[in-house]
């Protein structure tokens, strides 16, 4: 027999209602809500953000109300607005649930359909402590004296304040449960601010009664609201920032301010006076003249930014207005301060650094795409343009955005979108704070599914047909964060572009003067020139101009974060114009965000790279990420070397062969320098890559010259020819500004006349030097043979036998020391190795260098220290010859090699770092000393390379504090662009290394 389908109950079960607690069904029966008459109540309960919490609170209320429960039950069934307010409140906030249970009769407050106005709030809180208007010469409309000033005043004020806060929260949340009006964000913020003003006034009335119980108030005291309270955009739970102004600022005024803070912090919210002059170290109360003097002489830029939101809140309002009138002109002149841009940039970095990396995606206030991004951008634009445009003299963020759009400083659509994102993020912030009435700005962790589900319901998210409420919330959070970051970039630059190119006929245009102000505030030292570059870039014909206009807002933001945005923008214009015929260039920037961002970092950081990139544009494609990481790291130096040699071999003409080698070298230099600026390579990797490409280019030139010579002679060369690398080339430690120190050696082939062979070898060496040293836009290729026997007065090329005879009979200690770096790098490998083996007994003498030789080495080093340092150079910060610099470390390592290489074979090594490792393993010096020398060598080499990358030409002297040093610091890998910190670190490292050098090299 087939059973007929069971009719579905008209009363929804706990599962359909979303109730998860096992006791839910029993609780509904206790409330007598498990019947058809209660179905509207049940569905309303199910819409509460946390239905289980709401049901539990109803049970607790029923127990506390007793026979009075019937009245509440009746009203909930009759009044849908009350039902929405109560169920939304107790399902959103465990704190307000507890507040209602503690005073169950207070549910009657929620019957009110409208919010009290400012005057009613003030009256209500003052009545809580029986306050009456203050009398006497310092009386005023916001000055009152509490009739109840004992300890009980705190509890009375707390209860009254919490009741008013509860009413606002209930009306604000009601729309999540019933079809009630949604309170606009600005109305919520203003009501919270009015409530805070009333609370501050009540707290001041208690303070007056306590400090001046038997006399009229003898001082004038104004309370200035700052921050969100000043801007009338307060949160549900927030510190209230204040500043006190008094006449006179005596002990009575200080006691009044301190007592007011104590009462208010205990009863309402934390009252914070840290924004006062000198912060927490400064006087709590100052006179108006004292405030003025401080802001005229000592205040920093961020302090004027904070004053943007100041507002007299309570106390002596006339004195507060005088304070505002005196200081606001200084606020609008702040952008003329010489340190304005640096201060703003430092402040922005500080804010971002405050957030732990693992919280940045969850932090609504300070993370990426957060509230602070909006507020910071808006306030900066106000500071930039406010002096010339009084319409920007508003305090709230939304009001300021509206004014900026009306003035043409921000696009209307951008302002509307940014306002919407800002209000959405503030809504989430409010909901999170209401949950437990705690000050928080952090979203639930991804694994906290229950917390995210609650927030989605409290924020009135609804399924959209594709995603549930949680999915919709997650998508909205991501969408708004991305939109804020994107608009944060456009906010500054889109109006600039509209002022130089007619992108939208309906758009307002910044005046040239406003555009220049805006660029100056963004860090451009020559804003007029920058504006000219923008005109040129957006003025390109057709599609290219449109793509540039699309790209530039984001590109300019990235440039603005580099050490030298002026040079970066000029370089970008040069690169764009240089690649005008390369159709891929702008497309790659548009479609590959990594390429565009890395290119801006490089152009805004390095004067060394723009010409290289113009002449080797394919390198820009390598800024992209591949499957195994950045493409800049996908190339191996050994592969580049083989490519240079094979490319040069295709040509018989030495000039064409060398031109090919130089072209390939150019690409490799651009790759290595780009990866270095972007922090992808460490010092040894940079040195190896630069040395490898130098050696390959030298080898290619040598082979080409020998091939051409043999073709001209019509027979094989009369001698074998080898190039011995010396100095940093021999140690594979070249930097960007290094020359190639070499020795040329030849060996006549059997049957060849030695004189003819040597003459031929000299002609080959001269051609190699001439071809490689020919003028070019590329970094120079100087082949320096100055370390040869008898220096520049000696023969350019010698036979192996002649070298052996010279070094055996005539070599000076410094020449023996120079041989420690000798390494075969080009030409006939077998001849080069024979040369090195011939030199081994000389550079690694049995028993070590003689005491006389050691004394001579030390004497020469002392002369180098005293005579070779350039005039005017700072010995503490000269990377090569300064204290604890490269020369100190390398001479120390080489002296230990001269003394011990005969007994430690591992010291037969041309690399400073590898030799230092061998010295440490052999325990010739302490491990700690070796670590200090190693760190100093790496630090100095990195700084020296960074100098060349930043300046575009060889340099050894670190600059003093300033923009150039900050740029060097950033390129050298310092975590921020605080050049002074970097310089302190450099001097600390080298100073510690110098103590080791003095002890080891000096023989102490």
Q: What is the pLDDT of residue 551?
A: 84
- Residue 19: what are its φ and ψ, rounded to 5°? -85, 130
Give the integer Cα–Cα distance in Å for 699 and 693: 10
Q: What is the pLDDT of residue 502?
A: 46
Give the integer Cα–Cα distance in Å for 28 and 498: 63
Query: 612-631 pLDDT, tens per residue?
Result: 999 999 999 999 998 888 99
The Cα angle at residue 17 between residues 12 and 19, in degrees rounded to 5: 125
Helices (H), 389-465: 397-406, 412-436, 449-458
Q: Which of 707, 612, 708 is nearest to 669 (CA)?
A: 612
The Cα angle at residue 955 between residues 951 and 958, in degrees rounded to 5: 85
Low-confidence ranges of the chain (pLDDT < 70): 1-8, 341-342, 345-346, 348-359, 489-490, 492, 494, 497-509, 541-542, 1003-1004
Per the CB < 8 A criterion, the answer to whether 831 and 801 are in contact is no
Per the CB < 8 A criterion, the answer to whether 313 and 229 are in contact is yes
Q: Which positions ≥6 away from 21 have C-beta within 8 Å?
A: 27, 52, 55, 56
Q: What is the pLDDT of residue 541?
A: 67
Work out the number of other CB atoms within 10 angstroms of the CB of residue 477.
21
Q: What is the DSSP-derived secondary structure letter of residue 222?
A: E
What DSSP string describes 513-579? HHHHHHHHHTT-SSHHHHHHHHHHHHTSSTHHHHHHHHHHHHHHHHHHTSS-HHHHHHHHHHHHHHT
In whole angstroms, how far apart are CA 995 and each of 111, 241, 883? Answer: 80, 51, 10
In whole angstroms, how far apart are CA 101 and each of 81, 86, 479? Answer: 20, 12, 39
Q: Which positions ≥6 away from 830 have C-beta within 8 Å?
A: 720
Q: What is the DSSP-derived secondary structure letter of residue 632?
A: G
Q: Quote the tokens at residue 758.
A: 């040597």
Q: What is the pLDDT of residue 1004?
A: 52
Q: What is the pLDDT of residue 498?
A: 63
Q: What is the pLDDT of residue 117?
A: 97
Handedness of CA 751, 753, 756, 757 (dihedral sign): positive
Q: Taking the model in full, what pTM does it have?
A: 0.74
Q: What is the pLDDT of residue 506?
A: 44
Q: Quote the tokens at residue 665.
A: 């070298």
- What totals of helices (H) and strands (E) does the chain contain, helices first? 43, 14
């Amino acid at each position: 027999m087939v059973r007929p389908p069971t009719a579905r109950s008209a009363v929804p079960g706990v599962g359909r209602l979303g109730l998860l607690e096992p006791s839910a069904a029993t609780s509904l029966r206790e409330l007598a809500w498990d019947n058809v008459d209660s179905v509207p109540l049940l569905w309303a309960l199910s819409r509460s953000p946390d239905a289980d919490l709401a049901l539990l609170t109803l049970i607790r209320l029923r127990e506390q109300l007793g026979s009075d429960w019937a009245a509440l039950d009746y009203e909930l069934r009759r009044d849908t607005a009350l039902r929405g307010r109560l169920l939304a409140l107790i399902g959103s906030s465990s704190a307000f649930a507890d507040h209602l249970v503690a005073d169950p009769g207070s549910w009657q407050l929620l019957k009110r359909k409208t919010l009290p106005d400012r005057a009613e709030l003030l009256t209500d809180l003052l009545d809580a402590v029986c306050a009456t208007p203050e009398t006497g010469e310092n009386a005023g409309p916001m000055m009152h004296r509490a009739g109840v000033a004992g300890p009980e005043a705190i509890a009375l004020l707390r209860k009254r304040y919490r009741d008013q806060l509860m009413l606002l929260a209930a009306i604000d949340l009601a729309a999540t449960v019933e079809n009630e009006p949604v309170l606009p964000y600005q109305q919520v913020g203003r009501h919270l601010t009015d409530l805070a003003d009333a609370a501050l006034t009540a707290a001041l009335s208690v303070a007056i009664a306590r400090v001046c119980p038997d006399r009229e108030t003898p001082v004038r005291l104004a309370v200035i609201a700052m921050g969100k309270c000043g801007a009338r955009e307060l949160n549900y739970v927030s510190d209230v920032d204040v500043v006190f102004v008094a006449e006179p600022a005596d002990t009575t005024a200080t006691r009044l301010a301190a007592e007011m803070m104590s009462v208010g912090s205990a009863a309402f919210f934390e009252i914070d006076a840290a924004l006062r002059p000198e912060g927490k170290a400064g006087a709590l109360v100052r006179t108006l003249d004292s405030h003025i003097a401080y802001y005229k002489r000592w205040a920093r830029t961020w302090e004027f930014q904070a004053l943007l939101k100041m507002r007299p809140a309570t106390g002596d309002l006339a004195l507060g207005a005088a304070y505002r009138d005196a200081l606001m002109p200084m606020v609008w002149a702040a952008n003329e301060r010489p340190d304005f841009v640096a201060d703003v940039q430092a402040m922005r970095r500080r804010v971002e650094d405050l957030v732990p990396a693992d919280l940045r995606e969850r932090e609504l206030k300070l993370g990426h795409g957060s509230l602070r991004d909006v507020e910071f951008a808006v306030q900066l634009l106000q500071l930039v343009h406010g002096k010339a445009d009084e319409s920007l003299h508003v305090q709230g963020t939304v009001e300021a955005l509206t004014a900026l759009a009306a003035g043409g400083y921000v696009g209307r659509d951008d302002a509307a979108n940014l306002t919407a994102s800002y209000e959405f993020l503030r809504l989430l912030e409010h909901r999170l704070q209401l949950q437990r009435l705690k000050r928080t700005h952090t979203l639930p962790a991804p694994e906290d599914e229950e917390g995210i589900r609650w927030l989605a319901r409290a924020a009135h998210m609804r399924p959209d047909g594709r995603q549930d409420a949680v999915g919709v919330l997650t998508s909205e959070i991501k969408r708004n964060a991305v939109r804020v970051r994107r608009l944060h970039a456009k906010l500054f630059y889109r109006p600039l572009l509209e002022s130089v190119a007619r992108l939208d006929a309906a758009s307002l245009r910044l005046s040239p003067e406003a555009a220049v102000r805006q660029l100056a505030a963004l860090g451009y030292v020559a804003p007029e020139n920058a504006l000219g570059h923008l005109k040129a870039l957006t003025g390109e014909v057709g599609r290219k101009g449109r793509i540039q206009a699309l790209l530039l807002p984001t590109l300019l933001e990235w440039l603005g974060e580099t050490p030298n945005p002026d040079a970066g923008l000029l370089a970008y214009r040069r690169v764009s114009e240089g690649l005008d015929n390369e159709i891929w260039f702008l497309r790659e920037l548009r479609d590959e965000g990594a390429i565009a961002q890395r290119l801006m970092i490089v152009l805004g950081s390095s004067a060394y790279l723009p010409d290289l990139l113009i002449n080797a544009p394919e390198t820009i494609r390598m800024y992209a990420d591949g499957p195994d990481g950045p493409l800049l790291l996908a190339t191996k130096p050994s592969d580049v070397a083989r490519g240079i040699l094979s490319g040069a071999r295709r040509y018989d003409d030495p000039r064409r062969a060398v031109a090919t080698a130089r072209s390939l070298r150019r690409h490799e230099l651009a790759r290595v320098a780009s990866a270095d600026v972007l922090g992808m390579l460490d010092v040894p990797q940079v040195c190896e890559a630069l040395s490898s490409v130098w050696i390959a280019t030298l080898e290619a030139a040598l082979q080409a010259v020998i091939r051409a010579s043999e073709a001209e002679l019509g027979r094989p060369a009369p001698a074998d020819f080898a190039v011995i690398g010396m100095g940093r080339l021999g140690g594979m430690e070249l930097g960007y500004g290094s020359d190639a120190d070499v020795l040329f050696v030849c060996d006549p082939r059997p049957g060849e006349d030695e004189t003819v062979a040597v003459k031929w070898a000299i002609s080959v060496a001269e051609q190699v030097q001439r071809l490689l040293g020919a003028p070019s836009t590329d970094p120079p290729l100087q082949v320096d043979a100055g370390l040869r026997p008898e220096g520049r007065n000696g023969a350019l090329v010698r036979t192996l036998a002649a070298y052996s005879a010279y070094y055996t009979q005539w070599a000076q200690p410094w020449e023996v020391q120079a041989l420690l770096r000798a390494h075969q790098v080009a030409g006939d490998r077998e001849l080069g190795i024979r040369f090195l083996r011939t030199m081994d007994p000389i550079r690694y003498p049995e028993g070590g260098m003689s005491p006389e030789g050691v004394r001579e080495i030390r004497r020469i080093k002392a002369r180098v220290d005293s005579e070779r340092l350039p005039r005017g150079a700072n010995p503490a910060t000269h990377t090569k010859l300064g204290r604890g610099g490269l020369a100190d470390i390398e001479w120390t390592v080489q002296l230990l090699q001269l003394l011990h290489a005969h007994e430690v074979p591992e010291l037969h090594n041309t690399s400073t770092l590898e030799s230092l490792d061998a010295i440490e393993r052999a325990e010739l010096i302490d491990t700690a000393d070796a670590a200090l020398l190693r760190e100093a060598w790496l630090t100095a080499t990195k700084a020296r390379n960074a100098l060349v990358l930043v300046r575009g030409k060889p340099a050894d002297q670190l600059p003093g504090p300033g923009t150039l040093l900050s740029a060097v610091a950033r390129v050298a890998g310092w975590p921020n662009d605080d050049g002074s910190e970097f310089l302190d670190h450099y001097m600390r490292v080298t100073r510690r290394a110098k103590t080791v050098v003095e002890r080891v090299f000096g023989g102490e």
